[in-house]
Amino acid sequence: MRFFLFSLAISLMHCTFGQMYVRKKQNIGFYTGGTFKDAQFNTVSVGLTRSVWNYFEPEIGLRATLPLSSSEDYTQPHNVYLTGGLNFRKSLWQINQRKIGQSCRGEIVEFFVAPEYNLLIKSHTDRYDLGQFSLRTGLGLFHYQSGTSKRSKAWNVKAQAYYRFVPGPVTNTMSIKNEFGIQLRVFRFKTYNFLK
């Protein structure tokens, strides 16, 4: 009888103080990154995104092209674009799997491809095209952690390396050309306590 009462008390304490957070579908993300040209930081981009059905990440943001000459003022961007795209992602494999306490952790490598459109909204000259299509593709890396803590369920951070391809012939009126870049994406998911 004492064992039964002790087990019941432990179970009630666990239900009273336990927390088991579950991730909801609602989320919002922020991304920032840039591209390189001639071993210099050439552009910077920022924007908003979200994760839809674990495979799609629609995004909208701004892209600014910086002057490359060291004699020019780096605070004044040459061209500013309004960009929109749809990021298709697929997880490939897990790396660096480890167990820390009761939690399993590791990193996941993913492949992504993102068709995008860049609309020129500000330029220091009128010789550039007003809009350009491009295709961004590359590999991403993000951390995962099992468990039910609020922090592990609410946040997701991804680092991406990509190559941007602009279809068609390269012309002098194009300010966006084929280039390599990096990007950081941070997602915040809504969570709820499953035990309440």
pLDDT tens digits for range 39-98: 677 889 999 999 998 899 999 999 998 776 554 555 566 889 999 999 999 999 998 888
Query: What is the pLDDT confidence band of residue 14, given thresholds at 50, 70 and 90?
Result: very low
Enter the DSSP assignment of 124: S
pLDDT at 194 over 80: no
Closest to 118 (Cα-Cα) out of 174, 38, 58: 174
The answer to whether 155 and 187 have CB atoms below 8 angstroms apart is yes
The DSSP string of 119-185 is: EEEEESSS-S-SEEEEEEEEEEEEEEE-S--HHHHHEEEEEEEEEEE--S---TT-S--SEEEEEEE
- pLDDT, mean of residues 170-192: 86
- pLDDT, mean of residues 2-10: 51
Q: How far apart are CA 68 and CA 38, in angstroms?
A: 9
First vs last C-alpha separation in the chain: 29
What global pTM score does this model have? 0.78
3-state secondary structure of 37: strand
Enter the DSSP assignment of 115: E
Res 47: pLDDT: 97
Q: Give the DSSP H or E segment for 154.
A: helix 150-154
What is the number of other CB atoms lying within 10 angstroms of the CB of residue 165? 13
Q: How far apart are CA 77 and CA 50, in angstroms?
A: 27
Closest to 158 (Cα-Cα) out of 68, 74, 33: 33
- pLDDT, mean of residues 157-171: 89
Res 82: pLDDT: 96
Q: How far apart are CA 10 and CA 4, in angstroms?
A: 10
Res 2: pLDDT: 59
Give residue-wise pLDDT tens across range 110-126: 999 999 999 999 887 77
Enter the DSSP assignment of 52: B
Res 18: pLDDT: 47
Q: How far apart are CA 181 and CA 18, in angstroms?
A: 44
pLDDT at 16 over 50: no
